[in-house]
Chain A
């Protein structure tokens, strides 16, 4: 890969950041003084500027040739010894797709939000968060190394938290945000561990004699090596390291690293940095390293806990991806995340953030391709997620919940593609999904706004006449997601099904067929529940009015009138654009079968070139491919007609009959699926409660045991000193007091002699004199 410096890349994330700072720091005051538009317009314009810069970058990239990537290094972020992570942005053809999708869809949703959020008291907050999200997402996509990607990764998680909890006064909604963040943290746990493992595995592979230890046992040889005269061969190897470690693209860095190594070597003799190249966490350096067969073997030969290191890395990274991209087992946060405002659901929980896991694994295609086990797990989990999420989607009544489970399911499709080794297809579906799912969510937002914040589809109906633009766009997008021929979703989803069938990269009994079957059934259900939601919402008569009159508690609704009305222009225009893309966005990736150029695959081919030779395909013939394509078309229509038959105009009594069925099996299964297989409850019982119990137990242990010991020691000290004090008082001090007391008592006795009577003194004087006389006489005698 050739790097071409493109010094304005950093502007792409910068603008939304500026917008976020503007709205976040000043927004409240500006809102109060100058009104809503003063807050929102700058923040809505910022993503558009980013989009413009992104377009210019992508145009430059397209002109520069297939092997070029745009690179913009700002500063060394974390550089310690031989490890280095830069604050650097990179646009290759993969991130080019991503930034276009993110900035374009994101910008559209900003525009949509102008109308949707009108009159909300937290207006400034909303736009600040939304801009901050754009910033984080762009950092995620543009980051040239793991750690920088992780900044974006966590940043979008934070924004997701903030936006889900946007209506924070309602405890449930706030809790949903918390859930999202914490579940994502579980994924991050895997992600970080995966990075660590990969990093040290690479470091070991990079240098066979590598030993980070400076411990006693291994220290001696290190010293010896350093104090010996530099061996020319070794020096050559050292330089070769620099070159092979992918530093050719950034010669300045290589010099820096060399200079650093030499100064350190000269400075602290015997320093272990000698002979080590800077180990970068940049994706392209890792890829470059793994292109070297020796190094690749070095990595592949390492085992951890009986598992191949690469497999473990792949699985851990996938754990991270399941968190962000809502796959089994960590998908539980996404349905709850619908608590946020609908534009947020469209932007974050459908079009961009949740696809981060797909993006990340595609970015690491060279690594994933090395480990069939991890690929198998990815594909299987993806297929299962697609299937189970679709089953849950069948029974939801909340329009946003339907879309949420559909998103989980569609993300599962993307992971099927990733796991099958069809990375470009995953990205393709990611893009088309961004269009139609954003359109669907925004359409549902429009419906929800029209229905005065009612989300239950049973209380909708008949909206086609009342909200024609919304209805049409919703239908188009539903058709796209269901995979109607010539709609965008058809191309991407069909390609996924085909690749899943054809894959040779998974080690499953039955190969790709199992994947295909699960995905195909999921596709059938997708088509069904999407049109179910369409017909429940838009066909028949409006059923919401009565409910509202019955409630009758909300005065504000009276002013709006009871019947839903079409949303403002800012929203419908956005819906129109997205619907157009949902319709036509797939033409960039036409199937090979049709002998038309597949622009999308061609565009991404250089990116995934590295892993192309590692991947294996069953190589089924065209006949089968045609067959599968027709099957998927049939599936799409089957779902459509079933839904139309059951739900159109709300006339068919069958669904209600099934619900009212007395048969225990039917009721049981329905309840089980309707309650999402009780997974939340399971996690509550198995993870959250034990954690809380453990924390409480440890806290009691802390005060009741550890601190008690400390206090006990203190108490023992005090008791001991009390004993000492008693001994001191009784014996030692007793002796001293005895002397004093004796004197006192003597004095007390003697004072009686002093009577104060004159005569008494004279008596004693006389007596004394006589005594002396007698004594003198006696002595003389």
Chain B
């Protein structure tokens, strides 16, 4: 069996689904953050795969590298926010943080 684009896409879809599931189900902000990372990486897998099988060149890979760096930066910022949140509230439960309610 030749591993093709479809396989990558399935993996990507699974990753995305798992990430989304994490975001939706987990109330811990750190866990949600992890879900977000999963979703992001699902997208990156897609980018690399499509670049490799469909368009050629290295565009997708480069873009994915950017994405990784971005994800890292994002994680730093997000974790800092979560940390501050914890300091302020002694909790990282998203249910507790509804200050933006209308």
The interface-forming segment of B5-13, B42-50, B57-65, B90-98 is B90-98
Q: Are A754 and B23 in contact (CB under 8 A)?
A: no
- A33 interfacial contact with B, CB 8 Å: no
- Chain A residues positioned under 8 Å from B95 (CB to CB): 757
- B100 interfacial contact with A, CB 8 Å: yes
- B20 interfacial contact with A, CB 8 Å: yes
- Chain A residues positioned under 8 Å from B98 (CB to CB): 755-757
Q: Are A757 and B24 in contact (CB under 8 A)?
A: no
Cα A750 to Cα B100 in complex, Å, equals 14
Q: Are A756 and B24 in contact (CB under 8 A)?
A: no
Contact A756:B101 (CB < 8 A) given known A762-B23, A762-B24, A766-B20: yes
The contact of A754 among B24, B97, B102, by CB within 8 Å, is: B102
Cα A755 to Cα B94 in complex, Å, equals 12
B51 vs chain A, min Cβ distance (A): 24
B13 vs chain A, min Cβ distance (A): 13
Contact A763:B100 (CB < 8 A) given known A757-B95, A758-B94: no
The contact of A756 among B20, B27, B32, B99, by CB within 8 Å, is: B99
Bitwise, A737-758 to B at CB < 8 A (1) or not (0) is: 0000000000000111111111
B62 vs chain A, min Cβ distance (A): 27
Interface residues on B, range: 10 to 19
Cα A757 to Cα B27 in complex, Å, equals 10
Cα A279 to Cα B22 in complex, Å, equals 124
Interface residues on A, range: 10 to 19
A513 vs chain B, min Cβ distance (A): 123
- A759 interfacial contact with B, CB 8 Å: yes
B36 vs chain A, min Cβ distance (A): 10
Cα A374 to Cα B99 in complex, Å, equals 112
B68 vs chain A, min Cβ distance (A): 23
**Which residues of chain A from 764 to 780 have a CB within 8 Å of any chain B CB?**
766
The contact of A753 among B20, B27, B94, B102, by CB within 8 Å, is: B102
The contact of B102 among A751, A758, A762, A763, by CB within 8 Å, is: A751
Cα A754 to Cα B98 in complex, Å, equals 9
Q: Are A756 and B23 in contact (CB under 8 A)?
A: no
**Which residues of chain B from 59 to 102 have a CB within 8 Å of any chain A CB?**
94-95, 97-102
Cα A755 to Cα B101 in complex, Å, equals 4
Q: Are A754 and B101 in contact (CB under 8 A)?
A: yes
Cα A755 to Cα B95 in complex, Å, equals 10
Residue of B nearest to A747 (CB): B102
Q: Are B24 and A763 in contact (CB under 8 A)?
A: yes
The contact of B100 among A752, A754, A759, A766, by CB within 8 Å, is: A754
B33 vs chain A, min Cβ distance (A): 11
Cα A751 to Cα B32 in complex, Å, equals 25
Q: Are B102 and A759 in contact (CB under 8 A)?
A: no
> Which chain B residues have a beta carbon within 8 Å of chain A's beta carbons?
20, 23-24, 27, 32, 94-95, 97-102
> Which chain A residues have a beta carbon within 8 Å of chain B's beta carbons?
750-759, 762-763, 766
- Taking A751-B102, A756-B98, A759-B27 as known contacts, 9 extra A-B pairs with beta carbons closer than 8 A to each other, sorted by chain A number, are A753-B102, A755-B101, A755-B102, A756-B100, A756-B102, A757-B94, A757-B95, A759-B94, A762-B23
A selection of 9 A-B contacts at a CB cut-off of 8 Å is A750-B102, A751-B102, A754-B102, A755-B98, A756-B101, A756-B102, A757-B98, A759-B24, A763-B24
The 7 closest A-B pairs by CB, nearest first: A754-B102, A756-B101, A756-B98, A751-B102, A756-B100, A758-B94, A755-B101
